[in-house]
Structures are given as structure tokens and as C-alpha cells.
Amino acid sequence: MSRLSVLFADDFEDVSKRFCEYKNLDFSYRTCEKDGSVVLEELYKNPADVVVMDFVMKGIDALGVLERLELMNPLYSPAVIILSGVDSPALKNEFLKKGADFYLRKPVKTETLISKISEIKLNREMNALKPNSESYFEDSEAIITKIMQQFYVPAHVKGYNYLRYAIKICVESPAFKNAITKELYPTVAKNYSVSSESVERSIRTAIDIAWQRGNGDGFSKYFGYNNEVGKKRPTNSEFIARISDEIRIRYNVS
């Protein structure tokens, strides 16, 4: 695996001082202003493998950056190291739940940073050795849930669970995409002990709510349009087929 690229949201001179004595680093680095908006702009223009940022930043804070990274590009997921002067297990857990890889209490030794970046590199190399389909089957529900979050499908409505299960079925058995009404809805209905009509109606309602909210990037990314361009929302069948196809291709599920 090639050297990792690391983006530090910090002063370049300070970062350079950290690493000037270390030879043969297995990563390259650059810096940007300690401002969440700038961090996101930098990653959009030139993605990095690892982002090292302070908990407190101007503009968008580190939690906000993590939330927006989930929506930026479903195929791009940089590792994130958070540096914080706050020793709080609750705050640490919040960052880790949002997708951070490490939460380090300041001051952080340079050797510790190098060690964590090397650990990220090793984990990526190990994951690269695993078949993509294996990665999917190990964590299918989390993968589908993460994509649905990009559409802001409300988790509290019944259609959310029906839709997630329907996508899972179509990923693993694509023939169901060609028999949505006759086979897919009845299969989902049987799993939840409801009628096929209820499944169809609840899924339609869940997609309708997400579409009307208009603040999810998923429609633009996966369908090329959103509710601002005068087109109708994707049908249930279109939505399920598009998302299940994306997952099958991304994880090479056969």
C-alpha cells in the first residue's frame, strides 16, 4: 500500500516541528486552517486518507465535520483522529460513534500520533486483503443504514425498517428487484407479520418524507436530482433497485 496522505487542521510550522526529526515516515502530510469549513473544502478538493483535527475549531466544529463527511461521498471515508483538551469518556464515545478512529487527549506526543497513523495504515492493508463481499456480509445492516442516513429517511416510521430489509433482500437476491409487488413486499410483510399493502404504503411514506425534507444529499448523489429540480421523487421500486445495485457493485456481492 502506498504512503497515506494526512491532513492536519493546524499551523504548518507547528506540524513541521513535530516531524522534522523523524525520517522515513510512512505518510505524507499537509495542513490547513483550524476551521471545519476549510477542512471540508480541502477534503473535497483533495481527499486525504487521514484527518487530524482539534475538537475545537472555528466555523464548523469537529463533530460537525464528522457528520458532514458521512454525506460528502459514500465511497470516501477518511480515518479521523481527534485531539482534545477535554478528558471526558462521554465526549470520547460521542466522537467514536460519529466515526472518529481515535480520540487523543492533549498534549499528544509525536510518537503517539505516528503510532496511530501507522495503525490506521495497517488496518487498511488488512481490510484490503478481505473480499469486499465478506466485508458486506459481516456488517450488512450498518452499511445499509449508513446509506439510508444520507437520504434522511426518518428512523421512527415503520417504513424505515421495511425499506432497510427490502434493500437487504435485493442486495443478496437481486431477482426480487423484478418482482417488487409479487415477491418482495410479501417477503418483507411475512418477516414483520403485516400485510403487503402495509409494507408498500409505509415504504412510500418513508421515501416521501425524506424527499419532502429536501436536506438529504442522497437523492442528488444516487439519482442525480433532488426535489428542487421539478422531477418526481423516485418510486419505491426505483429507490430499492438503485440502492441495492450500488451496494452490490461497491462490495462485489454476487
Give residue 146's pLDDT: 85
Q: Mind listing the pLDDT tens digit for each residue in 143-160? A: 898 888 888 898 999 999
Q: Mind listing the pLDDT tens digit for each residue in 181-234? A: 999 999 999 999 999 999 999 999 999 999 988 665 678 778 877 777 677 889
Give residue 253's pLDDT: 87
Q: Among 248, 73, 78, 99, which residue's Cα sits nearest to residue 170? A: 248
Paired residues of 5 in beta bridges = 28
Cβ 103 vs Cβ 92: under 8 Å: yes
Amino acid at site 83: L
pLDDT at 180 over 70: yes
Q: Mind listing the pLDDT tens digit for each residue in 49-103? A: 999 999 889 889 999 999 888 777 656 788 999 999 888 888 888 888 888 889 9
The DSSP code for 31 is E
Q: Whole-angstrom Cα distance, residue 202 to residue 208?
A: 10
Characterize 21-39 residue by residue with b for buried, 16 or more Cβ atoms within 10 angstroms of its Cβ, and e for exposed. Answer: eeeeeebebebbbbbbebb
Q: Whole-angstrom Cα distance, residue 10 to residue 201?
A: 50
pTM of the model: 0.54
Q: Whole-angstrom Cα distance, residue 1 to residue 122?
A: 9
Question: Do you find a cis peptide bond into 234, omega within 30 degrees of 0?
Answer: no
